[in-house]
Amino acid sequence: MAERSISELGEKIKQEKGIHTNFKDDMTYGEYLSLEQVLGSQNRLSDHHDEMLFIIIHQVSELWMKLILHEMTGAIAAIQRNEMQPAFKMLARVSKIQTQIIQAWDVLATMTPAEYLEFRDDLGKASGFQSYQYRLIEFALGYKSSHILKIYEKNPSLSAILKEAHQAPSIYDVTIQALARAGLPINPELLTRDTSITYGGDETVAKAWKTVYENVNQYWDLYQLGEKLVDIEDWLQQWRFRHMKTVERIIGFKVGTGGSSGVNYLRQVLDHRFFPELWDVRTVL
């Protein structure tokens, strides 16, 4: 049965007269995607079978994070231009991407502690804690941890990118500006604040969101924006939780290869809220 199906498929392909087979002068699928470079970038440091899994999971996650940053940067710019509909599309895409990254932990969790120990020492001090794209995502969401910048001083060009992102307004900064543009009374100091400092909350922003959620039809765009941000923070926290549980499952409470406290550190960051008033408004409505 299987052989007949394969044979039938082969015949159907032959019948597709328009399929291109001569690429001497044209770009191929692999060339467009730079597949030779991408698929040649899994450089194992050991001979252990499962190191390939470890590398690919992290590389795939970094590719998804690159797309998250692309969409987040576009959404921030769109909100600043008061173009909410394009921003909503980009933020909805970010949420879908986040589900893919979360599911990646399920694949990594198929690796046992004994298997990971076979090549863990080969990693030296390299760690996911050093992911600069994850830091850029945190910065875009408003968590501006300046002490972390020291990790990237080895690479001046990368360090410059991170410092610029650290100084730039986050998506919540531009959202607060959108609240003010809509005529909602916002503390003027927030509109000119130092955006390299993590936002800690403000009573005027809390009152503004309460007004938005009590008058959905009047502030429909802001209401949608608020819910998109809640989606993103919700999924990010789920990603963090799956990260923590996968690490605990594989290395227990060992210190991370990058020197962090491992599971204990990952538990601490679960308490951080990026958009505090959007969560508090659910209690006061």
- Is 250 marked as a binding-site residue? no
- Is 58 marked as a binding-site residue? yes
- Is 54 marked as a binding-site residue? yes
- Is 243 marked as a binding-site residue? yes
- What distance in Å separates the CA atoms of residue 96 and residue 216, rounded to the nearest whole number? 25
Tokens of 81: 């231009």
- Degrees (nearest 5) of the Cα angle 266, 270, 276? 150
Tokens of 91: 């933020």
Longest CA span, the chain: 73
Tokens of 208: 């503004």
- Is 120 marked as a binding-site residue? yes
- Is 56 marked as a binding-site residue? yes
- What distance in Å separates the CA atoms of residue 141 and residue 176, rounded to the nearest whole number? 13
Tokens of 281: 């408004």
- Is 49 marked as a binding-site residue? no
- Degrees (nearest 5) of the Cα angle 135, 140, 146? 50
- What distance in Å separates the CA atoms of residue 266 and residue 2, rounded to the nearest whole number? 48
- Degrees (nearest 5) of the Cα angle 23, 29, 33? 135
Q: Helix H segments across the chain? A: 2-15, 29-32, 35-39, 51-80, 84-108, 113-117, 132-141, 156-167, 171-181, 188-191, 203-214, 220-251, 263-269, 276-284
* Residues in binding site for heme: 243
* Residues in binding site for substrate: 54-58, 116, 120, 257
* Residues in binding site: 54-58, 116, 120, 243, 257
